[in-house]
Chains A and B, each alone.
Chain A
């Protein structure tokens, strides 16, 4: 065992200057790797943006840089394709699903985190099971269920389930609510607040960051969802969302890669903008999904 007094030989043998140089070399190496990685991570997005600003002919070549700039591609893609319609459907899906999911999940998460009742652990484990369930397992029965009510071909099968909570959202909110000290709730109860009032008046204001994170996740999930819209809306183009439209775009407007990429950029831009405004809530939310080490 080395004691504190014995300097470890590996370091003691090195003159101070050499250590300094080694540190500087390590610093340069680490930052070089990081910069190379930055280039690799950013290139696809930058390239996509550049491509969306080319003429349709140049977009077929292997050029990186537009000869002439065509920002009007973005207007064109709005005017000459059903993109606005896809965008509207995606907005309807994402906004209503997010609002309804939060409204139905917050009370359940609160009960799981702060109320004592029989079967609480069993319910929590069930929710983890639901969260882990690949959606494909229940696809056929659910599809038949929606078809029986004549709702396939519309956005309804995507939005209605949001009324009944979302497993991941409940899980995330519960993890967040556990971090709120119970003393605050007890104080409210002593003051005569019922559980619902405690939730609305005391817990909700304190849980804002967690609710923001859960809402963002739900919004992003809906915005990016491809499997759901493919399953339920592909038979009716009027209900197509952005993702479904994008995947079919290339074949409908097959030569115009510049327009395809313009539409692709438009599909990702809102998410990146939202992220920059809500970065903290987001990172905190992701951290909550991982479990305590």
Chain B
């Protein structure tokens, strides 16, 4: 009897072995060493030296950290809701279109396929101050366009525009949720004389609430690691000679306005080689990301769809 059970466990283990090794080597091990390193001081050439809480104390008066936290919080507060509202709006619109819904859905989805680096380059060019096509168009209708990626005020909103353009995957998730709302609920409400807005507010919104929570949590996590677009936009818009890893010289352009938390972490670690401090920043990021994930975990029942 126990031989059979042993064999069964071994079979299960053979299925899971690669993933278990992967979790150990690429998650548990680096996480534990990051915690250890965060109490040390070292660079690529020196041996880690124990410094206790110094790295964490240093975070308290680091002006660049403060700036990057502010920028990341701004993105969390604007970028995440903007994308959720945009995605709900688009999916509601799609359900209303009887003719050509498939065509519209494909078009709205397409930009999500464009590699973020390529999309960022395209947007910096489209939004080029003065001569770019968008400013050119605005001028024609009598508006003097902003400096977009070259303005400290407009750089982050420009990144939000970029994120709204690539809204496709979120839209598909919301579309599936909206289409999943039973038609009978709407019919009953229509008979009760509810208008479109009422139907949306009292039927659609409550039905898709779990999806909104999911989108909010994953959106916050995504924003906490927002790196590519901010790095590339700063580099291209600044016009500085930045090649390969040299890109960190133009991080945050203009005036640190696109300087997000991951950019600061990368700069500390790989430009200044302050690896101990970089790990302290990483652990802080981990704690925040974990806290956000726990919110989702509490709803894990809706997540797992267990059969038994």
Interface residues of A (CB under 8 A from B): 2, 4, 8-11, 30-31, 33-34, 37-38, 41-45, 47-48, 51, 60-62, 64, 104-105, 107-108, 110-111, 115, 117, 123-130, 132-145, 147, 161, 163-166, 170, 175, 178, 182, 194-196, 199, 220, 223-224, 226-227, 230-231, 234-235, 237, 240, 242-244, 246-248, 250-252, 254, 257, 260-261, 264, 267-268, 271-272, 275, 279, 283, 286-287, 289-293
Contacts and interface: CB of A to CB of B under 8 A. Distances in A.
Contacts of A110: 15
A44 B269 contact: no
Contacts of B142: none
A117 B22 contact: no
Given A248-B242, A264-B122, A133 B289 contact: yes
B44 interface: yes
A30 B96 contact: yes
Interface in B130-173: 131-133, 136, 165, 169, 172-173
Interface in B269-292: 269-270, 275, 278-279, 282-283, 285-286, 289-290, 292
Tell me the interface secondary structure of chain A in the complex.
helix
Contact of B208 (A4, A144, A293): A293
A41 B18 contact: no
Given A140-B278, A141-B34, A289-B173, A48 B305 contact: no
A34 B270 contact: no
Contacts of A127: 19, 23
A254 B238 CA distance: 12
Contact of B285 (A8, A137, A220, A235): A137
Contacts of A293: 177, 180, 207-208, 210-211, 302
Contacts of A139: 265-266, 269, 278, 282
Contacts of B218: 132
Given A104-B19, A124-B304, 17 more contacts: A41-B110, A44-B111, A123-B16, A125-B300, A132-B289, A133-B27, A134-B289, A138-B31, A165-B22, A251-B235, A267-B115, A268-B114, A271-B113, A279-B106, A291-B214, A291-B299, A292-B210
5 contacts: A129-B290, A136-B225, A163-B18, A279-B106, A291-B305
Contacts of B15: 107-108, 110-111, 115, 195, 199
A275 B12 contact: no
Nearest to A182: B307
B107 A275 contact: no
Given A107-B18, A140-B279, A37 B118 contact: no
B18 A133 contact: no
Contacts of B9: 117
A254 B25 CA distance: 41
B50 interface: no
Contacts of A292: 210, 302, 305
Nearest to B104: A34
Nearest to A107: B15
B19 A251 contact: no
A117 B272 CA distance: 47
B254 interface: no
Given A136-B262, A271-B115, A44 B282 contact: no
Contacts of A237: 244
B121 A251 contact: no
A87 to B, nearest CB: 13
B133 A62 contact: yes
Contact of B133 (A64, A104, A224): A64
B154 to A, nearest CB: 17
Contacts of B4: none
Given A41-B111, A244-B244, A8 B191 contact: yes
Contact of B16 (A108, A142, A161): A108
B19 A290 contact: no
Contact of B110 (A33, A37, A45): A45
A84 B141 CA distance: 42
Contacts of B6: none
Given A248-B247, A271-B113, A138 B22 contact: no
Interface in B1-42: 9, 11-12, 14-16, 18-19, 21-23, 25-27, 29-31, 33-34, 37
